[in-house]
Every structure is written in C-alpha cells, then in structure tokens.
C-alpha cells in the first residue's frame, strides 16, 4: 500500500475496555504522520461498516484521548456483517450483509481496515479479508485469552481494578471476621483471577483451568481461622467450576455471537463455604467495573505500540495478521494461528507456583 494512497479504516468491536482510545490514537497518528493517509473511523464496530456510519479522523480528533477509557468510536458485540439483524427487525431475523459492508468500505476508499477487538472481532475481520477487504487486527480483551500474544489491551487495567477492590475488601473482611468472595470476569480463562488475586493477596483463587473441591476450600478457611486469621479472601473466576461439575451460567442471549453469559459462581462458592465452615461469607461481583475507567500506563504503552504495528502491517501489505506482544517485543501472527483457540492459564504457570509458595490455595 503506497504512502498517501487511499484511506485506512479503524473500528473497535466487542466489549469496551481501557486502552481502546489509545489504540485509535496510535493508528490515526501513525497513518497520518508516517504514511500521509486519510483515516476513517467506523462507528459502533462492524455496525458502522454495514450502515455506512463513519467519521474522518484527523490528528486533532485523537489528541487528548490517550487517557480516556472506553472508545470514541463506540462499539457493539452484536453486529456481525455475515449474520446481521437490521434495526427494528424481529429477533432471529438475520441477513448476510457482508457485501454491503465491503461496498461501504470501497465507497470511502478504504485500502485496509484495522479491527481492534477480541476473538469475535478478529474472526469477522478474517472473513472480510477472505471476501476482499484487507484487514489487520489489534488484540483487545480484558480476559487476556487470545493466543499468539502474551497480553492484550485492557487486561492490565482490569487486573489493577481487581487488585484495588481486593485491597478494599480485605479491611472489611478482617474487621468483621468474614470470608469475602470476589467474583471476577475472564470467561473460560483465569488470567484476571490469577493475576488480580495474587496481586491482592487472595487466600484462595479458583480458576477454570483447575477444577476445585469445596472441601479443600473449606479446609483452607478453617485452618486460617484456627491460626487466628479469622477472615479469608476468596477470588473466583466467573468460569471456575467444581471438579466433576460445570460452569454456572447466569443466562443466555439468543441473538448474541457468544450467547452464554457466565455468572453466579461467587454465590455458589459462598454458600458452600458457609455450609462447610459455619462462617459468614459475603459475595462481591465486580462485573463491568473491570472494563471501565482510565487505562493504566501499561495499557497506554501497549495500545500505542500495537496500534502503530497494525498500521505498519497494513502499509507493508501484510494483511490477515494480528499485531502481538511476545518476549518483550511487538510482532504479529496470522489470523489462522489466533482464531478458534483460547489462551488459558497453564497448570505449570510460574505465577501459580509462586502463589502456592506463599500459601495461596487453588482449591485442588
């Protein structure tokens, strides 16, 4: 793609998180400064691509947004161009409007589209690439579950929120001699629970990767009580489940690309602790607090480097690739090595070993 030729598009898809605006800023400023390209921002993810809703992004438009949470372009996780429900259409009335999305991109002179998002967003980007719209990806997910990158935009900010919440709950737990159960996000991977739990000094951390036994959890709480530690902090990933049991599903959303909504495991664990120990247990579900607020400096730096790399990939014609961070450097990987897999916490993770060494239990 020649410098100054055409325009580069950018959109944010899936759930919001801190660092998205930093990535938009990096994409826009790199494209303008280094390649003299026009930048078009599509509103509300792929919905803007289908509906033709977009705005030109100038250097000044993205100045001052580095520290802002959320996304100035808006986002949605229900706008798959290949399975699209028009506004006002009844539930379940889906159409393939990918051709319309490609036409809107061509009308705006888009030579490449930078898609900032998680597995769902990147899967759509890969399919659009197969139909003739060159795409590159930037990994964004607080769950940190995308393969081929050690960390994704939003993860560090989410972990910081979790650690700070545990710090606050710790003083209440100790004052009232209670067991505090904190349920955190992460879907089918335990990265947020592990990193946030270790940073916050959790006594028990329950992960999807290590099925727990309720009797082991209760034994940890009782032993702490006998040693004079009359409170415990239990951090639970939303995808955690007992050995031989399944994950707790809060509800399903039929017209969503990911219809399963996990939630409720914290309440189940608290009930099990009260029944098994006779001690009072309280539950705090952090929920979307983990997605909001100002990005940490780590996320700002990561988003800046990944956004810049995405533009360089597009300028070099290296499409259908995701910018990635591995071994201390920014690199990239083809979509086919990213999609269809979940990056889970290894059972032999050095952080799990370190946590066990300082007395943390994983309920197994």
Active site residues: 143
Which residues have C-beta within 8 Å of that of residue 220, sequence separation ≥ 6? 203, 204, 232, 361, 363
What is the DSSP track for 2-69?
Answer: -TTSSEEEEEE-SS--TTHHHHHHHHHHHHHHHH--EEEEETTTHHHHHHT-EEE--TGGGTT-TT--
**Rounded alpha-carbon distances, angstroms, from residue 221 to 114, 182, 207, 212, 267:** 48, 15, 17, 14, 16
Question: 48-52: long-range contacts (C-beta < 8 A, 24 or more apart)?
Answer: 48/11, 48/73, 48/74, 49/9, 49/11, 49/81, 49/101, 49/104, 49/105, 49/113, 50/79, 50/81, 50/84, 50/97, 50/100, 50/101, 50/104, 51/104, 52/104, 52/107
């Amino acid at each position: 793609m020649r410098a100054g030729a055409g325009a580069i598009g950018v959109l944010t898809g899936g759930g919001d998180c801190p660092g998205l605006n930093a990535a938009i800023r990096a994409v826009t400023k790199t494209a303008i400064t280094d390649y003299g390209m026009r930048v078009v921002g599509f509103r509300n993810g792929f919905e803007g691509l289908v509906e033709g809703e977009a705005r030109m992004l100038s250097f000044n438009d993205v100045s001052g947004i580095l520290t802002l949470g959320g996304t100035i372009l808006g986002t949605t996780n229900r706008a798959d161009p290949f399975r699209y429900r028009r506004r006002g259409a009844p539930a379940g009335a889906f159409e393939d409007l990918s051709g319309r999305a490609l036409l809107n991109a061509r009308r705006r002179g888009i030579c490449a589209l930078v898609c900032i998002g998680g597995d769902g967003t990147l899967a759509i980007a890969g399919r659009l690439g197969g139909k003739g719209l060159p795409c590159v990806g930037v990994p964004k997910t607080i769950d940190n579950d995308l393969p081929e990158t050690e960390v994704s935009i939003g993860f560090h900010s989410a972990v910081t929120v979790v650690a700070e919440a545990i710090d606050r709950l710790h003083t209440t737990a100790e004052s009232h001699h209670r067991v505090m159960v904190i349920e955190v996000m992460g879907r089918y991977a335990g990265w947020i629970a592990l990193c946030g739990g270790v940073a916050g000094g959790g006594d028990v951390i329950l992960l999807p990767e290590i099925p727990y036994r309720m009797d082991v959890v209760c034994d940890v709480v009782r032993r702490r009580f006998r040693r004079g530690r009359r409170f415990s902090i239990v951090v639970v990933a939303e995808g955690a489940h007992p050995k031989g049991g399944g994950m707790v599903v809060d509800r399903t959303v039929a017209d969503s690309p990911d219809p399963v909504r996990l939630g409720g495991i914290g309440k189940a664990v608290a009930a099990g602790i009260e029944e098994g120990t006779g001690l009072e247990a309280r539950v705090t579900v952090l929920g979307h607090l983990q997605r909001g607020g100002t990005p940490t400096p780590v996320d700002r730096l990561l988003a800046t480097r990944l956004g810049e790399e995405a533009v360089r990939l597009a300028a070099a014609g290296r499409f259908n690739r995701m910018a990635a961070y591995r071994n201390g450097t920014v690199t990239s990987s083809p979509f086919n090595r990213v999609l269809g897999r979940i990056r889970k916490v290894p059972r032999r993770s050095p952080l799990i070993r370190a946590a066990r060494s300082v007395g943390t239990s994983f309920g197994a």
